[in-house]
Structure formats: C-alpha cells, structure tokens
A = this chain, B = another copy of it.
Amino acid sequence: MTFASRIASLIVTLTMTAMPLHAQTINVMPMPAHVAMAQGRFYIGTRFSVEMAGYHEPRIDHAVGRFLGHLKQETDVTEPRAFTTGDPEASMRLYCAHAGEPEQSVSEDESYSLVVTQSQIRLDANTPAGVMRGLETLLQLVDKDEHGYGIPALEITDSPRYPWRGLLLDVSRHWEPVDVVERTLDGMAAVKLNVFHWHLSDDQGFRFESKVYPKLQGMGSDGHFYTQNQIKDVIAYARDRGIRVVPEFDIPGHSTSWCVGYPELASAPGPYTIERHFGVFEPTLDPTREEVYTFLDHFIGEVASVFPDHYIHIGGDEVNPKQWDANPNIQAFMKAHGIANDDALQAYFNTRLLAIAKKHGKSIIGWDEVLTPNLPKDVVVQSWRGGAALGVAAKAGHATILSNGYYLDAFKTAADHYAVDPLGVAPPDLTPAQKKLIMGGEVCMWGEYVNPVNVDSRIWPRAAAVAERLWSPANVTDVNSMYRRLAILDAHLAAYGLTQDRYQKTIFNEQLQGATCEALPIVASVLTPLTDWSIKVTSAVPLNRLKDVVKPESLEAWELSKLVENPKANAEAIRNKLVLWQNNATAVMPVMRDHPMLTEDVPVAQMLNDVCQTGLQALGYITSGEPAPASWSAAQAAFLAEAAKPHNEVVIAITPAVQVLVNDAAGTTH
C-alpha cells in the first residue's frame, strides 16, 4: 500500500467513526414529517415478499419491482417476490387506497404512512405516487447491524410541505442525452422531487423534434435533440416515478436557435447561426407580426400534443431589446398600439401567447420578467431574482415558484441552499391565501459548464438539500443532521446509477494521460470550483480542467469546519487531516508539473500546502496554551485572505476553517 492510499483509507476511517457522534435520527432524506421510533428491528433476511392490496395499476408494480431490485442489490435478499393475493407470511403489506390524478398535478396526494414492527412492514398510501414516496423512504431506512440487514421499528406519517418540488435541467447549452435525463429522474425520485423542468431551447440549441417546423431542430440543434418518441419515453419514465415533466421553450429572447431555421421569426433580418458562446444575445422573436403568432400557435399545439402536463414554460427572461429598438416596423407598431416601452411590448407578447396556450388547454409559466401589471392571473411566475419578487407575484395573485438561491451552477454549499425556504424569503406580510400561492421551488442545473461526464456531480448530492427543504417541515433545519444524512444519501444515489463519484476518474485519466496519482483525488477533495463568468467561453471548450473535476462542495472541508469548533478536544483529528492534505499537496506538485493539463494548478497545490502549514502552526499554539504573537496572526490572516481567492477557478475549501484556527491561536475566540 502506497503512502497516498494508506492515507486515503485513513480518511474513510475518520469519516466512518465520526458518524456516530451525531444525533440518533433515521438516515432518511428528505426527513419525513412525523417519525416515532419503536422498540426492535425488522430483519430482512434472504427472502422478502410484498403483498400489494387495494387499488392496483402497472405503476405500482414497477415501483415495487424497482424497490425489490435495489433490495436484492444492496442486501442479502436473493428471492424478492411481489403478489396481489393474500399471504399471511408477506414481509410487507402495501395498500393503495385509490388511483391518482389521471395526469399528476400540484394537487396530487403524495402522502403515505409506514409502520415497521419486528415482524412486518406496512405501507399505506392514497395514491400510487404516495406508494412511490413511501418505498423510497423505506429503502433509505435499510441498514445493517451485527445480525444483518434490517429496518428499525418505527411509525412514519409523511406528506410534502410544498406541492411543486422541481429540478431544471438545461440541455441546450450543452447536450445531455436521454440516459442522463433518465438517471436524473432516478435521483429526483430518490429524494421525492416531483417536477422535471426540461429547458429544451436556448440560443445554443433547440432540442425538441418538431414535425410541424422541422428546421427548428434540423438547423438549430447540431443533430442533438430528442425525438418525439424519446420524449414520450422520458415522460412515461418520469410518470412511473411520480414526476411531472414541464417543457420550457424560452421566448422571445434566448431564441437564436429558433431563428437559424426560421429567420423570419426574428426582429432583424438573418441569417442566424447557432450561438456558440454563453450570455445574453440579440436574436429576439418579433412580437408585432401575426405570422409569428401563427407559427407559435401551430408549434404550441404540437408541444401540447406531446407533453401532457398542464403547464408549458415560456421562459421570458433576459430579453435584449436591441433588435426591437432598431426595427422601425416594431417601433411603428408600438406607437400605433400605444405600447409605451419594451416591457409593455413583452407583456403584449405574453398576453397573446397565453391565449394561444389556453386554446390548446395549457397554462403558462414564465420567469420573473413576465410579471407585468396586467398579466392574467393564471400565469405562474418562477423567480430567479429572489424572495421580494415572489412576494410581488403572490400579492398580484400569481402562483409562484422559487429558484433564486437554488442555482447549482453558483457552486454554493448544500447548507447555503438548505437555508433558503420559499416562504422564508418571501415578505412576511403575505396573507395565508397569498402564502398558499407560493407552490414551492426548483433547483436549477444550468448547462454552461456541465456535460454528460460531470453533470451528475453538479446536481448530486446538493439538490437533495433543496428536496428536503421543499418536502420536510419548516423546522427541519439542523445542518449537522442534514450533512450526516447527505453523505449517506450520496452513497445510496450511486446504487441508483448516478455518477457523481465515478466521473472524476474519467477526467483525472485524461489529465494524467494514463498515469496514476493517488494524491490527486485527495487534494481534489478539499478543492471546490468557482466559475469566473468574466472569462469568455464557448461550447467548444472541453470541460476537462481541474475546476471541472473538483466537486462543487467539499464534505472534507465541512467536516474540518465542525472539528475546529472545538480545536483543543479535536486537535489530533485536525492534525491528522492537515498532515494528510499537506503531504498529498507536496506529492501532487511534481505530478502536476509533469502533466501539462494540471501544470496551471501547481500554485493551488502549493497554496494548499501553505494553508495546511498555517493550520498546523495555529494548532501548535492552541495545544501549547500560549497565544500566538499578534504579528504572526496578522501575517497569517493576510495570507489566508489571499489563499481564499479562486486560482484558475479553483478554491481551497478548507481556508475558512484554518482561519478559525488562526483566530483561536491568537486567543481571540475563546
């Protein structure tokens, strides 16, 4: 065993032994609404059978089949069985009261209850969706003791706090094939998210196969789009997991890809080409020409025939009015119709669009910008701007969804996202009826810096923190408990086929050109990415630099931040960690120098080495009991301020915890 791998296994040991220190709660995420622990434990053994009683349909068979499949994969069960006829020996009795909504909506009943005794499991739900939620909870409850796999005896009564718990996946800026979409749905099901918001068009690509206007994808997608058959499969896959699919077609801005095949839709003459950069661009649909609405009528009719959900998202964000302002016909139209400004013109567009959607039996959702004084009340407003906008919308009578605070590409921590509660960030003066309009939220995976290789790592496990925020009671806010369960869930998701761990190997291999370096993942485990949005990039840039391979959050850094809360008691654990990282930072530097894709990151490794050194010195002062000299403290604070900045879009995530140690060493905090 090499030095690096010996040290790597040390980490695992530390992590494992650190677990039991935390509160004695169940390892489920999102935390159920009501949990009552009982005495004893149900042991699973090798044979496990499920009796399905009450209302029955294929979705229940499928959900039970998936449940038993995972049980077989993760426990000693060798003979899983499911049946609908009575059997007094059944390991588990499942009862579904009645059918769910023909088409799942925000009103769907997702509640369930679970009773686990030493001899049997009972799962009761009103609908198949509730059955699915209960099965996911049950699967997460499985653990192992000295007698084998089992589930603690308990009673759970559970239902969601918000009915709209979504995840947005942008497949325009980088293409994501169907298998990525499906495994994202698997992850969503595991944490009880129930709306898949499919961002299907943007400047960089039109990803929906239109048979009515085939040049949309034919010229606007580089051949990377979903056929209608594939989309129907995805919708069925989602419905099988109790997940709605809401398509987004972003108009009138963010619409370059529409104009490649149909330049006549735009507000300035073409030709247009697919946009390769990221940002806000000029091509914008022309809201003043009837032909545009005829086109949208046919197009939305087609979309409505493919997507069964009641909502179609029409985007509406970040309209660049340059084409409108420069087009004399549009200016004349505005004058003739008394349309005062660009915002009013977009409001006119939205009103027309809403009428078209209604004609096809749909309602629309738009981003903040669609909210104008005369906007019809049945338009849902999704806020990327924040809680104040949420309040404005709700006060104007609009149902709303929060996404501000839930942007995964901002590389915030799970704790950051966890702290954002839609009702918590909304203005406090809302009436109960207005509060009810706040339907939930959506975590957003924008596509500028994700591809099929790294996308899972950008979504998971952090999205689970938002899933818990939207499902669990408002008072479930213990960050320590959340992180403890998040680490367990993270491993659980891997069993669902998600790749948030495996992806690193792919990119490290490319960076190391086939060489191996055990120090690199250890160093990477305390680094996080931070996008410098001022750097001009295009979709041609491969996502294979260190910033693309480090995980959005360092759970190692979080663990250190807990340990430094009590540095004297935890001195040995802290020292072990700092020595580990310092040794591996030293080991990784020559490798980085030898491998050009990593050479730019030698200063990061050097900086990590130095940060660890500062931490070890601080720990020396702390354990000696003698305060550090003020000059030393000042010098270290200056260094750490520098170290805390991103280098090549990579951040040394342990720096704040080391600053806590430096403060402590100076005697300033105790």
Contacts and interface: CB of A to CB of B under 8 A. Distances in A.
Interface of A: 209-210, 214-215, 217-219, 221-225, 227, 230, 273-274, 276, 510-511, 513, 535-542, 544-545, 593, 596-600
Contact of A599 (B218, B222, B540, B597): B218
A192 B314 CA distance: 61
Contacts of A596: 209-210, 214, 217-218, 221, 225
Contacts of A209: 596
Contacts of A230: 513
23 contacts: A209-B596, A210-B596, A214-B593, A214-B596, A215-B599, A218-B596, A218-B599, A221-B596, A222-B541, A222-B542, A223-B510, A223-B545, A223-B597, A224-B542, A225-B596, A227-B513, A230-B513, A273-B535, A276-B276, A276-B538, A276-B540, A538-B538, A540-B540
Contacts of A539: 540
Nearest to A545: B223
B542 A223 contact: yes
A532 to B, nearest CB: 12
A450 to B, nearest CB: 15
A600 B219 contact: yes
A218 B513 CA distance: 13
A536 B273 contact: yes
A227 B513 CA distance: 8
A539 B214 CA distance: 24
Nearest to A542: B222
A-B pairs, 4 with minimum CB distance: A540-B540, A218-B596, A214-B599, A223-B597
A544 B225 CA distance: 13
| Highest count of chain B CB atoms <10 Å: which of A536, A544, A598, A599 | A599
Contact of A218 (B210, B219, B597): B597
A544 B510 contact: no
Contacts of A221: 596
Q: Which of A218, A219, A221 has the most CB of B within 10 A?
A: A218
A77 B393 CA distance: 81
Contacts of A210: 596
Contacts of A545: 223
A544 B222 contact: yes
A544 B217 CA distance: 14
A544 to B, nearest CB: 5
A279 to B, nearest CB: 14
A223 B540 contact: no
A542 B540 CA distance: 10
Nearest to A511: B223
A243 to B, nearest CB: 24
B600 A218 contact: yes
Given A227-B513, A510-B223, A215 B600 contact: yes
A229 to B, nearest CB: 8
Contacts of A513: 227, 230
B223 A544 contact: yes
Contacts of A538: 276, 538, 540
A527 to B, nearest CB: 18
A227 B273 CA distance: 36
A650 to B, nearest CB: 14
Nearest to A539: B540
A274 B276 CA distance: 14
A218 B542 CA distance: 13
A363 B537 CA distance: 38
Given A210-B596, A222-B541, A223-B545, 20 more contacts: A209-B596, A214-B593, A214-B596, A214-B599, A215-B600, A217-B596, A218-B596, A218-B598, A218-B600, A221-B596, A222-B542, A223-B510, A223-B511, A273-B535, A273-B536, A273-B537, A274-B541, A276-B540, A276-B541, A540-B540
A504 to B, nearest CB: 15
Contacts of A542: 222-224
A106 B434 CA distance: 85
A276 B217 CA distance: 23
A574 B597 CA distance: 57
Contacts of A215: 599-600
Specify which of A274, A541, A597 lies most central, judged by the most chain B CB atoms within 10 Å of its CB.
A597
Nearest to A510: B223
Contacts of A214: 593, 596, 599
Nearest to A515: B227
Nearest to A537: B273
Contacts of A224: 542
A218 B599 CA distance: 7
A632 to B, nearest CB: 35
Contacts of A535: 273
A536 B272 CA distance: 10
A210 B223 CA distance: 37
A593 B213 CA distance: 11
A537 to B, nearest CB: 8
Contacts of A217: 596
A46 to B, nearest CB: 40
